[in-house]
A and B are shown apart, each in its own frame.
Chain A
């Protein structure tokens, strides 16, 4: 009994004592938290214009509600051909990245793991990380030099061999392939870092035991390495699946051109063109809200599925 009482009084006193010591930590946190509050939370206040008739002169709190109980702009968006196309392209390009871009780093990590010349491996890694450090504008510049219809490196070779130029950048189907290919080129090396670390964590005893049992290179890869990095694969797959509706701006905007807009316009670039350039703020805020909410939902779903499958998930 006595000790309990003591504990209570101790706690009362200790708040003062606690703050006397710990105020410093709160002081250090103040600036970052203020930053997050202003730049991440305050924008959420503006989400209400998705449900209201926006006007530049009026304060956002006084704006009249949009028609259809405020859902006018969502209905409008889903009747808008350009938006539906952008939605399709976002999901389509992300799925393509998932199918082609996701396995590439895993395969590359497995190949690197088989190299037995340490110096050579280091050099290959350094070279393979390089594309990750290039901006999408630079990659677009490189792609122009490589793939331009008549002056591009690849088409010059094709022409010399007596073949027709391939319209890598200015025909829809080819553009999609180029987009995916450049994505792989940019990310396969960088993406492999995580898998290499996971492979390094696998116990060497497992490999030795497998060697004793007479397992060859590919047997070991299949039965030891891949199961060893499976948790990492699942976590990254969950994150990728969760962002299937997310759209990065830099990559599609840098790579797209007028001739391929039917496949290249994604939600982020649509919002930029229609919202910021075209000033349709309410419509594009609605589109952004749709994207964010569905994005969170997808992430939760993907995580839930991963857990059902007996993996750790991301939280």
Chain B
């Protein structure tokens, strides 16, 4: 190691400062939101809350946590997310695994069949009419089935499978293991990183998605949390709706809004840092191989 010159050291610190600034910009909106959600109503009305709560209280949170509408939507979304993640992971594995066998006849045709769907989409209305024909409109299954396989994620998984040495499965084949056994006994145990990555992608996609519910669902009972949040953010601004929904003052509705945004953000923010080393690998796999 060469000893760094003074100017190089100053350079290092400039980059540190830039990164600190960037991190601040990322975190600032969250801190502001948290401060608002914990602040007293009149402090919000007087525009006194910046990055630190004023008049500490948990009223907004207790209001959210005692309102069945939010609790219901929360658990419904948790349930949906878990089911979607498992179904999607299973579908992705089923699709990716057979395609790594070079001896599979018709593999190139199947690959073309799959790739076309990545580049050509029939459009929103044909999809809507299909859901109508399948009886999926206003059916909670519409939030699970139509999005249960992402070809992009399948390609990531396939790239990962390609990275597992062929000799492993060949020796298993010689020992008389069938393809299903090889998948369960060899491939899946070795694929934990990619399974974790894709589970995160699918879970985040479902947790954050609202457009399918917006288009296909009429029954507010089955709205996922994000769509409920969208409706609240867009209605609460008008005073009539606020009073209709039982908000005593505009200040409270302000902190309530902040609390609801917080409430629907926190689960994801608790999960992703732990999976960081996996998803970095997953993203890279997806980009290297098309």
Segment at the B interface, from A82-90, A91-99, A126-134: A126-134
**Does B207 belong to the interface (CB within 8 Å)?**
yes
Of the listed residues B19, B134, B179, the one surrounded by the most CB atoms of chain A closer than 10 A to its CB is: B19
Query: What residues of chain B lie closer than 8 Å to A67, measured between beta carbons?
Result: none
Check if B30 sits within 8 Å of A142, measured CB to CB: yes
**Does A289 belong to the interface (CB within 8 Å)?**
yes
The residue of chain B having its C-beta at the shortest distance from the C-beta of A24 within the complex is B179
Check if A288 sits within 8 Å of B124, measured CB to CB: yes
Check if A124 sits within 8 Å of B19, measured CB to CB: yes
Query: What residues of chain B lie closer than 8 Å to A144, measured between beta carbons?
Result: 233, 257
**Does B68 belong to the interface (CB within 8 Å)?**
no
Check if A46 sits within 8 Å of B229, measured CB to CB: no
In the complex the two chains form, what is the Cα distance from A126 to B279 in whole Å?
A: 12
**Does A42 belong to the interface (CB within 8 Å)?**
yes
Using known A-B contacts A146-B32, A281-B125, determine if residue A32 contacts B287 with beta carbons closer than 8 Å.
no
Check if B94 sits within 8 Å of A31, measured CB to CB: yes
Check if B179 sits within 8 Å of A44, measured CB to CB: no
In the complex the two chains form, what is the Cα distance from A152 to B101 in whole Å?
A: 57
In the complex the two chains form, what is the Cα distance from A312 to B290 in whole Å?
A: 11
**Does A183 belong to the interface (CB within 8 Å)?**
no
Check if A128 sits within 8 Å of B126, measured CB to CB: no
A135 partner, pick from B121, B183, B207, B290, beta carbons under 8 A: B207
Smallest CB separation, A10 vs chain B (Å): 14
Check if A250 sits within 8 Å of B22, measured CB to CB: no
In the complex the two chains form, what is the Cα distance from A285 to B146 in whole Å?
A: 19
Mark B75-93 against chain A: 1 for CB-CB distance below 8 A, else 0: 0000000000000000110
In the complex the two chains form, what is the Cα distance from A284 to B104 in whole Å?
A: 41
In the complex the two chains form, what is the Cα distance from A163 to B43 in whole Å?
A: 21
Check if A128 sits within 8 Å of B22, measured CB to CB: yes
Check if A42 sits within 8 Å of B130, measured CB to CB: yes
Check if A284 sits within 8 Å of B47, measured CB to CB: no
Check if A22 sits within 8 Å of B126, measured CB to CB: no
Q: Chain B contact residues: over half helix, strand or loop, or mixed?
A: helix
Check if B210 sits within 8 Å of A193, measured CB to CB: no
In the complex the two chains form, what is the Cα distance from A46 to B134 in whole Å?
A: 13
Smallest CB separation, A254 vs chain B (Å): 7
Check if B29 sits within 8 Å of A129, measured CB to CB: no
Query: What residues of chain B lie closer than 8 Å to A172, measured between beta carbons?
Result: none
A41 partner, pick from B101, B117, B183, beta carbons under 8 A: B117
Mark B248-270 against chain A: 1 for CB-CB distance below 8 A, else 0: 00000010011011001100110
Check if A140 sits within 8 Å of B233, measured CB to CB: yes
Segment at the A interface, from B9-17, B53-61, B164-172: B9-17
Query: What residues of chain B lie closer than 8 Å to A45, measured between beta carbons?
Result: 126
Smallest CB separation, A218 vs chain B (Å): 9
B110 partner, pick from A33, A46, A145, beta carbons under 8 A: A33
Query: What residues of chain B lie closer than 8 Å to A291, measured between beta carbons?
Result: 123
Check if A150 sits within 8 Å of B47, measured CB to CB: yes
Number of A interface residues at 8 Å Cβ cutoff, please give it. Answer: 96
The residue of chain A having its C-beta at the shortest distance from the C-beta of B290 within the complex is A314
Check if B130 sits within 8 Å of A43, measured CB to CB: yes
A271 partner, pick from B104, B124, B146, beta carbons under 8 A: B124
Smallest CB separation, B66 vs chain A (Å): 21
In the complex the two chains form, what is the Cα distance from A29 to B22 in whole Å?
A: 45
Which positions 138-168 of chain A face chain B at CB distance < 8 Å?
138, 140-146, 150-151, 153, 156-157, 159
B124 partner, pick from A44, A111, A129, A268, beta carbons under 8 A: A268
**Does A272 belong to the interface (CB within 8 Å)?**
yes
The residue of chain B having its C-beta at the shortest distance from the C-beta of A37 within the complex is B113
**Does A40 belong to the interface (CB within 8 Å)?**
yes
Check if B125 sits within 8 Å of A288, measured CB to CB: yes
**Does A253 belong to the interface (CB within 8 Å)?**
yes
Check if B209 sits within 8 Å of A126, measured CB to CB: no
Query: What residues of chain A lie closer than 8 Å to B162, measured between beta carbons?
Result: none
Query: What residues of chain A lie closer than 8 Å to B92, measured between beta carbons?
Result: 32
Check if A232 sits within 8 Å of B95, measured CB to CB: no
**Does B26 belong to the interface (CB within 8 Å)?**
yes
The residue of chain A having its C-beta at the shortest distance from the C-beta of B268 within the complex is A133
The residue of chain B having its C-beta at the shortest distance from the C-beta of A128 within the complex is B26
Which positions 130-183 of chain B face chain A at CB distance < 8 Å?
130, 134, 145-146, 148-149, 151, 154, 178-180, 183
Check if B272 sits within 8 Å of A108, measured CB to CB: no
Known: A145-B32, A253-B211. 15 other contacts (CB 8 A): A36-B117, A38-B130, A43-B126, A49-B129, A126-B273, A135-B208, A142-B29, A145-B257, A146-B32, A197-B280, A217-B8, A236-B287, A249-B211, A272-B215, A276-B124
29 pairs, A vs B, C-beta closer than 8 Å: A22-B103, A25-B98, A28-B97, A29-B110, A39-B130, A40-B117, A45-B126, A111-B22, A121-B19, A123-B23, A128-B22, A135-B208, A138-B261, A138-B264, A142-B33, A142-B261, A144-B257, A185-B26, A197-B280, A197-B283, A232-B287, A253-B214, A257-B234, A271-B125, A276-B215, A288-B122, A292-B122, A296-B119, A315-B290
Q: Which 6 A-B residue pairings sit nearest by Cβ, starting from the closest? A: A288-B123, A135-B208, A32-B95, A46-B126, A43-B122, A43-B126
